[in-house]
């Protein structure tokens, strides 16, 4: 509609909720930020919208789309605040959630703990049925036995039921029978059927994913319904979309049905923004770095594409140790996350050394300098005391920081117990969190075959630009890119994300025995189901489908994803498919085995709609003078000089195209602050992006 030309991105983080309002007619962008309200996230959503109305009155009625990212789902899993959930599975598989893959994540730690299953054993029930791996029925399901099982769970007061039977991805007939029984006995009870959630081989991953979906489904449904109602009450009549972990956006109805797909909803958006900027500026290797109040997320973007992986973990017992969490098998952008944010708590460890993170003060009470009751010194407190932040210009001056309170906290809890000077304490906090992030980044980049000495670091988040310079120095990266409105980078990313949905189905068959007619039927079925999900948003002829295959050598335990040509699969030859597999295998491992048989495991389809591209607006003022952009000078700590030195402070909103200036410099905008050392130069392009070149890297 012509009278609806605004789009709003809203990202709920662990500390702040970010807003970006885009005018599609003029390209004008306005931003907002407020503290997250953990008890009811929709409070912050309404507060932020009310704040934007002060500068753009009556925009809510002209909103075409509101795109939302939330931490609600992952928080409910970590905090175990989901629904009372039951599981129905095949006889003999009741304990699959504990057994998992029978792998110890810390083989030499006899005290290693594992996450408690979302469903306790007493709420996990079995039915006597069995389907073979080829989909034929070995033991039929007794409907009365299934009904008794359902009633037993209902008598125990479950709000949601997950159903996951052995080999149901090949034949879901028994799962569908149980689903009908649940609906007839208790239509108000939420259900998650594995054939709908994840019709994929690998029993533990399928069960864990289906159980997770069931566990958070009632809570997510209530929240999205409440949010929709609240938005309507303030005049919103446009379309509400939710960010998916895979980098696309989907309707609120689909998100409510498959909440497991939005677990990494917020963190994904900044990566999608980085991917868009990388393509726009033709940057071959970009390290996207998003540091907020609670965590730092990063992703290596190669050739303009952020990788997507088929599985990830949540709720880790050892927060950043692979294998110690609940496995979720859904597509997710390949993020690396560590406990490093502005709210990361600094303390003296049991060994008498400085430790920063992974614990965070969050939004409530937050760092000491927020003045909301926080007692533990945090990274933001150190950044303030180092002179990097202005206590009178935090969030554009809307939030006054308590510098003296932060000073007392660092002196009493860090400097005195460690027996070090005040300067050593505050710089130690800042530098240690940079070191932690750099160590993790080097590993992540190496695992992807990248080289940190050639990547461009793109920094997002409220704390990202503050720490990007220190991170670049430790990585040896030669260049940094700071986009406009970097502090709300995730919310900006919503405008660059496609409306898309991924579906798959497992069907194990060797290439030699495969009927390409059957393969084509599987692909068409997936396209039909994906089209049903997207059809509310567009006509069927605008939906684009991308097909791919997960393949492996017969006998292997891991698969590779292989893209396939568009169109009828029966027109593709087996030799062509084998060549695609061999090419991909050789690229990854250096050689292939042409005499060994290969097999299909998973068939995948991504359905997407035409993108509504974000047009980057050019900034005005070409040929201006830097004098007008300089706000003054501020003493801030220099790691090169090892002392406080004068830094020139610039107003980012007054910078102009082709402006160039050397460090040391502090560039301030409402949501974030950029720190540049004396060995770097800053230049501004036509779109207001800041490019920082480091003269010498170490």
Of residues 410 and 290, which shows the higher confidence score?
410
Q: Which pLDDT score, from 0 to 100, does residue 698 have? A: 39
Of residues 14 and 434, which shows the higher confidence score?
434
**Cβ–Cβ < 8 Å for 340, 296:** yes
Which tokens hold the place of 416?
């005195």
Correct CATH for 500-608 of 1.10.3470, 3.30.2010, 3.30.1490, 3.30.70: 3.30.1490
**Cβ–Cβ < 8 Å for 266, 12:** yes
**Cβ–Cβ < 8 Å for 356, 339:** no
The alpha-helical segments, DSSP class H, found in 194-264 are 194-197, 203-233, 252-257
Q: What percent of the chain is modeled with pLDDT above 90?
A: 50
Mean local confidence (pLDDT), 136-157: 95
Q: How far is CA 459 from CA 178, 219, 306, 471, 647, in A?
A: 49, 33, 15, 10, 21
String of DSSP letters for 575-619? HHHHHHHHHHHHHHHS---TTS-EEEEEEEEEEE-------PPPP
Is residue 541 scored above 70 in pLDDT? no
Mean local confidence (pLDDT), 453-465: 91
**Rounded CA gap, 694 and 472, in Å?**
9
Is residue 326 scored above 90 in pLDDT? no
* Closest C-alpha to 384, from 637, 569, 53, 69: 637
Rounded to an integer, what is the distance from CA 398 to the centroid of its chain? 28
Is residue 487 scored above 90 in pLDDT? no
Q: Which pLDDT score, from 0 to 100, does residue 598 have? A: 95
Burial class (CB in 10 A: 0-12, 13-18, 19+), 682: buried
Mean local confidence (pLDDT), 286-307: 85
Which residues sit opposite 605 in a β-bridge? 503, 547
Is residue 67 scored above 50 in pLDDT? yes
Lowest mean pLDDT among 269-273, 638-642, 658-662: 269-273
Q: Which residues does 108 contact at the CB level (< 8 Å), separation at least 6?
A: none
Which tokens hold the place of 317?
């017992």
Mean local confidence (pLDDT), 652-671: 92
pLDDT tier for residue 146 given thresholds of 50, 70 and 90 = very high
Of residues 346 and 13, which shows the higher confidence score?
346
Q: Which pLDDT score, from 0 to 100, does residue 342 have? A: 86
Mean local confidence (pLDDT), 346-367: 84
* Closest C-alpha to 462, from 482, 478, 476, 479: 482
CATH placement of domain 80-215: 3.40.50
Q: Which pLDDT score, from 0 to 100, does residue 189 have? A: 95
Condensed to tens digits (0 to 9), the pLDDT of residues 188-204 reads: 999 999 999 999 988 99
Q: Which residues does 55 contact at the CB level (< 8 Å), separation at least 6?
A: 30
CA dihedral 474, 479, 480, 484 (to 10 degrees): 170
Q: Which helix (H) or strand (E) holds 290?
A: strand 285-291
* Closest C-alpha to 384, from 349, 417, 410, 418: 410
Break the chain into its structural domains and give their ranges.
6-76+222-262, 80-215, 344-430, 500-608, 626-694
Of residues 461 and 481, which shows the higher confidence score?
481
Condensed to tens digits (0 to 9), the pLDDT of residues 207-240 reads: 999 999 999 999 999 989 999 999 999 889 888 8
Q: Which pLDDT score, from 0 to 100, does residue 367 have? A: 92
- What is the rounded end-to-end Cα distance, in angstroms, of the chain? 54
HSE-CB for 366 with a 13 A CA cutoff: 22
Mean local confidence (pLDDT), 565-578: 89
**Rounded CA gap, 134 and 201, in Å?**
12
**Rounded CA gap, 32 and 671, in Å?**
8
Is residue 540 scored above 60 in pLDDT? no
Is residue 34 scored above 80 in pLDDT? yes
Q: Which pLDDT score, from 0 to 100, does residue 513 have? A: 93
pLDDT tier for residue 372 given thresholds of 50, 70 and 90 = confident
* Closest C-alpha to 613, from 493, 483, 485, 495: 495
Is residue 539 scored above 70 in pLDDT? no
β-strand 344-348 against 296-302: which pairing, if any? Answer: unpaired
Q: Which pLDDT score, from 0 to 100, does residue 613 have? A: 67
Of residues 619 and 83, which shows the higher confidence score?
83
pLDDT tier for residue 566 given thresholds of 50, 70 and 90 = confident
pLDDT tier for residue 363 given thresholds of 50, 70 and 90 = low
Q: Which pLDDT score, from 0 to 100, does residue 648 have? A: 96
Which residues sit opposite 633 in a β-bridge? 648
Mean local confidence (pLDDT), 533-544: 72
Q: What's the chain's average pLDDT?
A: 88
**Rounded CA gap, 492 and 446, in Å?**
28
Mean local confidence (pLDDT), 241-251: 86
SS (H, E, C) 453-510: CCCEEEEECCCHHHHHHHHHHHHCCCEEEECCCHHHHHHHHHHHCCEEEEEEEEEEEE
Which architecture, in CATH terms, is 6-76+222-262?
2-Layer Sandwich (3.30)
Is residue 298 scored above 80 in pLDDT? yes
pLDDT tier for residue 122 given thresholds of 50, 70 and 90 = very high
**Rounded CA gap, 58 and 624, in Å?**
34
**Rounded CA gap, 265 and 244, in Å?**
5
* Closest C-alpha to 369, from 355, 349, 389, 354: 389
Q: Which SS3 state, helix, strand or coil, does residue 285 take?
A: strand
Lowest mean pLDDT among 285-299, 365-379, 616-630: 616-630
Which residues sit opposite 12 in a β-bridge? 17
**Helices 403-410 and 422-447, packing angle to 10 deg:** 90
pLDDT tier for residue 1 given thresholds of 50, 70 and 90 = very low
Q: Compute φ and ψ for 480, nearest 5 degrees.
A: -125, 150
Is residue 53 scored above 60 in pLDDT? yes
Q: Which pLDDT score, from 0 to 100, does residue 465 have? A: 94
Is residue 697 scored above 50 in pLDDT? no
Q: Which pLDDT score, from 0 to 100, does residue 392 have? A: 92
Q: List own/partner pairs for 97-106 with CB under 8 A and 24 or more apart.
A: 97/124, 97/204, 97/207, 97/208, 97/211, 99/204, 100/204, 100/208, 100/327, 101/204, 103/323, 104/323, 105/318, 105/321, 105/322, 105/323, 105/324, 106/318, 106/321, 106/324
The answer to whether the peptide bond before residue 396 is cis (omega within 30 degrees of 0) is no
């Amino acid at each position: 509609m012509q009278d609806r030309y605004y789009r709003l991105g809203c990202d709920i983080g662990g500390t702040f909720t970010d807003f970006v309002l885009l005018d599609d007619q003029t390209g004008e962008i306005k931003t907002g930020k407020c503290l997250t309200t953990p008890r009811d996230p929709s409070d912050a959503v309404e507060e932020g919208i009310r704040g934007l109305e002060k500068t753009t009155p009556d925009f809510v009625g002209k909103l075409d789309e509101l795109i939302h990212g939330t931490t609600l789902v992952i928080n409910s899993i970590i905090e175990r605040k989901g629904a009372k959930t039951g599981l129905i599975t095949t006889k003999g598989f009741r304990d699959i959630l504990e057994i998992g893959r029978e792998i110890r994540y810390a083989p030499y730690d006899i005290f290693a703990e594992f996450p408690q299953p979302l469903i306790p054993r007493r709420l996990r029930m079995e039915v006597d049925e069995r389907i073979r791996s080829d989909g034929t029925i070995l033991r039929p399901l007794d409907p009365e036995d299934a009904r008794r099982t359902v009633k037993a769970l209902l008598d125990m007061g479950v709000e949601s039921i997950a159903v996951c039977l052995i080999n149901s991805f090949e034949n879901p007939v028994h799962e569908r029978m149980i689903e009908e029984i649940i609906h007839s006995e208790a239509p108000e009870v939420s259900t998650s059927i594995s054939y709908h959630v994840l019709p994929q081989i690998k029993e533990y991953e399928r069960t864990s994913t289906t159980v997770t979906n069931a566990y958070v489904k009632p809570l997510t449904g209530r929240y999205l319904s409440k949010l929709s109602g609240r938005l309507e009450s303030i005049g919103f009549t446009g379309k509400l979309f939710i960010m998916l972990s895979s980098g696309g956006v989907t309707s609120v109805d689909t998100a409510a049905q498959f909440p497991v797909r939005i677990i990494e909803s917020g963190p994904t958006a900044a990566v999608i923004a980085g991917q868009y900027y990388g393509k726009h500026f033709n940057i071959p290797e970009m390290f996207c770095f998003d540091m907020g109040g609670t965590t730092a997320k990063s992703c290596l973007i190669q050739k303009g594409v952020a990788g997507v992986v088929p599985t990830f973990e949540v709720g880790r017992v050892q927060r950043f140790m692979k294998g110690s969490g609940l496995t979720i098998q859904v597509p997710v952008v390949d993020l690396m996350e560590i406990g490093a944010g502005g709210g990361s708590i600094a303390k003296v460890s049991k060994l008498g050394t400085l430790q920063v993170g992974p614990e965070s003060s969050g939004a409530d009470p937050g760092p000491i300098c927020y003045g909301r009751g926080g007692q533990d010194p945090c990274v933001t407190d150190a950044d303030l005391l180092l002179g990097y932040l202005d206590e009178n210009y935090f969030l554009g001056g809307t939030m006054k920081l308590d510098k003296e309170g932060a000073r007392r906290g660092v002196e009493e809890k860090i400097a005195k117990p460690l027996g070090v000077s005040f300067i050593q304490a505050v710089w130690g906090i800042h530098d240690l969190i940079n070191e932690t992030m750099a160590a993790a980044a080097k590993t992540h980049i190496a695992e992807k075959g990248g080289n940190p000495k050639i990547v461009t670091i793109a920094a997002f988040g409220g704390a990202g630009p503050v720490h990007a310079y220190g991170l670049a120095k430790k990585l040896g990266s030669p260049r940094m890119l700071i986009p406009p409105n970097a502090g709300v980078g995730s919310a900006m990313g919503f405008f660059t994300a496609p409306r898309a949905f991924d579906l798959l189905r497992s069907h194990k068959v060797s290439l030699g025995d495969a009927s390409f007619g059957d393969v084509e039927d599987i692909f068409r079925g997936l396209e039909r189901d994906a089209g049903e999900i997207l059809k509310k948003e567009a006509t069927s002829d605008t939906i684009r489908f991308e097909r791919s295959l997960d393949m492996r050598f017969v006998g292997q335990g891991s698969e590779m994803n292989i893209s396939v040509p568009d169109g009828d699969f029966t027109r593709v030859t087996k030799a062509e498919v084998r060549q695609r597999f061999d090419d991909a295998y050789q690229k990854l491992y250096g050689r292939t085995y042409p005499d060994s048989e290969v097999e299909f495991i998973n068939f995948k389809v991504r359905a997407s709609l035409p993108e509504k591209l974000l047009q980057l607006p050019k900034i005005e003022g070409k040929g201006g003078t830097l004098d007008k952009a300089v706000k003054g000078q501020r003493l801030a700590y220099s790691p090169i000089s090892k002392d406080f030195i004068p830094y020139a402070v610039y107003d980012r909103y007054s910078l102009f195209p082709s402006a160039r200036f050397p460090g040391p410099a502090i560039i301030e905008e409402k949501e974030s602050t950029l720190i540049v050392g004396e060995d770097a130069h800053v230049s501004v392009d036509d779109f207001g992006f800041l490019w920082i070149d480091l003269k010498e890297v170490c």
